Amino acid sequence: ETGVTQSPTHLIKTRGQQVTLRCSSQSGHNTVSWYQQALGQGPQFIFQYYREEENGRGNFPPRFSGLQFPNYSSELNVNALELDDSALYLCASSLAYEQFFGPGTRLTVL
Amino acid sequence: GENVEQHPSTLSVQEGDSAVIKCTYSDSASNYFPWYKQELGKRPQLIIDIRSNVGEKKDQRIAVTLNKTAKHFSLHITETQPEDSAVYFCAASRRGGADGLTFGKGTHLIIQP
């Protein structure tokens, strides 16, 4: 069984640019959630996808958007990057109650 | 929306002693409460979870208790070992994996040799 994977591991962007982060779900999991973890804080829920449809959203602006593909992998897109977007971005896949996290993508915005 | 408070922010215990981390939540509709362990530079790992239909769950040295009336839940680690040193996060949701988790701010657990 393959665990949750994310790419890239690290990314450096400048303010105003756009970024796409990728997540591959654990085998058989049909739900993907994305979280933002600032340094020294707990993860904050961005949104969730279930069978290619957005299934819930946290308190994040529309410039944070996502996709889920038929194989349940997912993308997180962030437009018009701001300095405060610098964080660890985590995805988590689930089938029932438990959510299993990927290793994250460290995004730095300069 | 849900709000999860976690205490303490830092906890230092002697190796072999017990550690207790406490969380409170605000949404009475929450019914799933997982705990995650995050080592430096690593992903959060699910270590134990509890649903609202039980009051306590144990897994070897780790236990979680839930008081739905008071809206608080706690993580208990007995016979602590150096490898227990990490940041621990509590979380809550209404529908488990079908819902976003609301996390506490974390507890940095330090095991003193």
Tens digits of residue pLDDT in B25-38: 999 999 999 999 99
Out of B6, B44, B97, the one facing A95 most closely (by C-beta) is: B97
Contacts of B62 (CB under 8 A, 6+ apart): B47, B48, B75, B76, B77, B78
Q: Which residues of B touch A47 (CB under 8 A)?
A: 100
Contact A72/B at CB under 8 A? no
Is A1 in contact with A26 (CB distance < 8 Å)? yes
> How many Å apart are CA A64 and CA B17, to the nearest integer?
44
Tens digits of residue pLDDT in B44-96: 999 999 998 889 999 999 999 999 999 999 999 999 999 999 999 999 999 88
Contact A25/B at CB under 8 A? no
- In a mutational test of the A interface, the residue from B32, B36, B101, B102 whose CB has the highest number of chain A CBs within 10 Å is B101
Q: Which residues of B touch A97 (CB under 8 A)?
A: 32, 34, 49, 51, 96-97
Q: In this structure, what are the phi and psi dihedrals at residue A96, rounded to the nearest 5 degrees?
A: -130, -115
